[in-house]
Structure 1
Amino acid sequence: MVVHSWAQRREIIAAILASSASQPLAYYQLSAEEEAGYRRLAEHAVRATIRKNSSSKGYRSLRTAHPFNPVWFTVAIINVVCLVTAAMLVSYSDLTDHQTYPLIAGASTIVAVGIASLGWGVAGWVAQRNARVQHTINLISTRFSQPAFVKHISIFNDAFGDHKRTLVTTSIVERLSVSRNDDDRELLQSIKYILNYFEFISSGIIRGDLDFDIVRSNLRSNMIFYYEKCLPFILDSAATNPTLMEHYSRVRAALMDP
């Protein structure tokens, strides 16, 4: 059996869908805007199908921390204790004996405490989730308003941009680090700034402080582009320091097409 790449699978599915259509696309007389919208929907559908059935999905899945799990564990313990205690009190009570009514009232109070702790847990989880989403949006949306970010991105793109095949290698970094030229020094700072910036974002994702889906939707192409531009330098550096760009490497692998 031939193992097809992700791009080949996409083309195969697109070809099958095109051949199964009863009418050509021109038949529907779509405007340019409508056609672009439908093509985006089709692309998203194909991507979702391939990701869902990809054999490499587990390999590329990103394990992130869940900071709220200890809270859920505490809530679960509280509810178990409350239920067990309430059940014991009810078992000792007798509806025909009014002297045991306080036991039933106590059981009801304990159950109410358990329900209240569950509500507290849900409210806290919603607040934590909203705060994480808002923090992620703020971090992404304000990057272009930061002069340092715009400056370093521009310097890096001028040297290693889309239309240049030059990659950031260890020899280039070493040459820049000993150069007395101001432009070389700025370029070296730009390389370090960009790598550290995306490492910071990646660390936030893995620690559960940033929302991965939002980052994926907004920064996926940028994070892959700059990682691949700096790949030779990252690999050489990781050979001597395995933890260098560790989070960025993990997130980049999860961002790649399955």
Structure 2
Amino acid sequence: MRDKAKNMSILIPFFSATGNTKKVANVIKKKLDDSNISVTMLDITSYSRREEDIFINQYDAVIFGFPIYSMRAPRVCREWLETLDGKGMKCSVFFTYGGFGKDPAHYFMKELLEKQNFELISTAEFLGAHTFNRSGWKAVVNRPNESDFKIARDYTMKTMERFLGNDLNKLGEFEKPIYKKSQFDQAEKYRFSLIRQLPTRNLKNCSMCGLCEKLCPVNAMDASIGTANNRCIACFRCIANCPEGILHTNDISGSWNKKLETHRMTQEEVESLESKIYL
């Protein structure tokens, strides 16, 4: 594969608020680097980066990386994708998720990318510590780990075979959801039902570095008052990157067992979930 791929140029745009998606993206990049493939990483987590013009057609193929929020890629990512024109370019998508609600993310992403004139040739999903662990949950706390990274390397090579035309098989169809998009829009709002206190801080211990405001993907954090406004998407990037570790939401640890009961899963079953490739 090396000889055929050495002149290829791959773009990896990714959204990673708490670091899970970036970890997987880095594993994919390393595997491509080892095959002497040119790779460009594009972190679109910041609002300003998504506002920049992206000359996507200078690349040979794209591997997108997104977390799953409320069964789909985050709305800000979907809106960013709607600004692109793939012009027939081959692409792949990988998701990270916290053990729950991963479907129908693949279905809706395939639909969106095809609308934007991309040819989706593979997808994958990887376990990653749930965002709400920072508010008290205990969902796949130590993921992604080496077992996930091994699957990520396999995903990379299988995806490259399709990019190169060595594997002419087509990506299968995903099951169409029984609910309407409007109902999934409502589910996005439910994401906030447990988080009654948006990210905020104890002013007495704050160095006023302003990093929380700078990093917020949707310009929701106001460093001067130390709290986010209702534009917040509960990605918790501010909490994950606070140097003093003083940003927080309300404690939702009491809802963890209820979450397990709702999904009819045990803690052990959640921890044993495996990452997966779709071809």
Shared fold per TM-score greater than 0.5: no
Which fold has the larger relative contact order, with Cα–Cα distance below 8 Å and residues 6 or more apart in sequence?
Answer: 1
Q: Which structure has the highest helix share of the two?
A: 1
TM-score (norm 2): 0.23
Larger radius of gyration: 1
Please state which structure has a larger fraction of its residues in strand: 2
TM-score w.r.t. length of structure 1: 0.24
